[in-house]
Amino acid sequence: MIDMTHHHADLGDVILHYVKAGSGPVVVLIHGIPQTWYEWRHVIPHLAEKYTVIAPDLRGLGDSSHPTDGYDKKTMSNDIWRLLQSLNIDNFYLVGHDWGGPTAFSLAAQHPKSVIKLAILDVAIPGDGADFSQNGRRWHHALFRTPDIPEQLFLGGREHVIINWLFDNYGYLPNCIGVEERTEYLRTYVKPGAMRAMFSIYRALPQDASDNQAMLAQRGKLKMPVLALGGDKSFGRGLETLESLKRVAENVQGGLVPNSGHWVTEEQPEFISKELLKFFDHQ
């Protein structure tokens, strides 16, 4: 039985909640939306048998604090960097799903000597030259970026409407995220400031694309090994994740997560765990 312990790190402008488990080399897991560290609950026990796992809640989400700004991915990735520095961690494996992917990419681009290997799950990288929102297929991107309207639609006891819709439709099976899991996610997203933070993460997309393009122009593509996996069903990104990472990194491998939509860590945790361990362990 792997023991997962909960901690908080006060970084000054933000307090990050994180979960820690296992021992050995460090693996950092960065969650997506509308999820929290909790999306990794079935993956952590597998990784923690060989690694020290750190799974933070992003700025504004989960049980972290809710600053009014700082939701561009350079700032959010710097939160993770400062957390790791406070724990005296200088080298680590890094994994990001959904918006955790662009956050992980930014962290790897800014601190390439510290990231041993990088894994990106079912997301593209803003500024890679393609359309992050799939030409409108991911329609909620535009909605969430629109000023004021999403707050009016989904606050005041209506947060569950959009969260349930995303879980119902972006997975392969409508019930792939169960009632208990949705209750845990909703617990954190109804906190004052949480939905504002979520919308702010989307609203920072143009800045993220610009920042990434500038880093790529200055420093070139990522050099560390990269694993890129996308869900093969429904709203899974499919091979788009692999194609995106090939545009921004030199040493990329990957493919599809079978029988999975977008929620790959919860729809196929055994597969994800196996692929991550194989990727980390391979010399």
Annotated active-site residue in 170, 202, 208, 211: 202
- The domain tally of the chain equals 1
β-strand 252-257 against 52-56: which pairing, if any? unpaired
Tens-binned pLDDT, residue by residue, of the chain (283 aa): 789 999 999 999 999 999 999 999 999 999 999 999 999 999 999 999 999 999 999 999 999 999 999 999 999 999 999 999 999 999 999 999 999 999 999 999 999 999 999 999 999 999 999 999 998 899 999 999 999 999 999 999 999 999 999 999 999 998 999 999 999 999 999 999 999 999 999 999 999 999 999 999 999 999 999 999 999 999 999 999 999 999 999 999 999 999 999 999 999 999 999 999 999 998 6
The rounded distance, in Å, linking the Cα atoms of 32 and 41 is: 13
pTM of the model: 0.97
Cβ–Cβ under 8 Å, residues 123 and 208: no
Strands 226-231 and 115-121: parallel
Catalytic hit among 63, 98, 128, 232: 98
Range of the domain at 178: 5-281
Q: Is 252 helix (H, G, I), strand (E, B) or coil?
A: strand
Catalytic residue flag (residue 262) = yes
Q: Which of 31, 46, 97, 262 is catalytic?
A: 262
List the CATH number of the domain containing 124.
3.40.50.1820
202: annotated active-site residue: yes
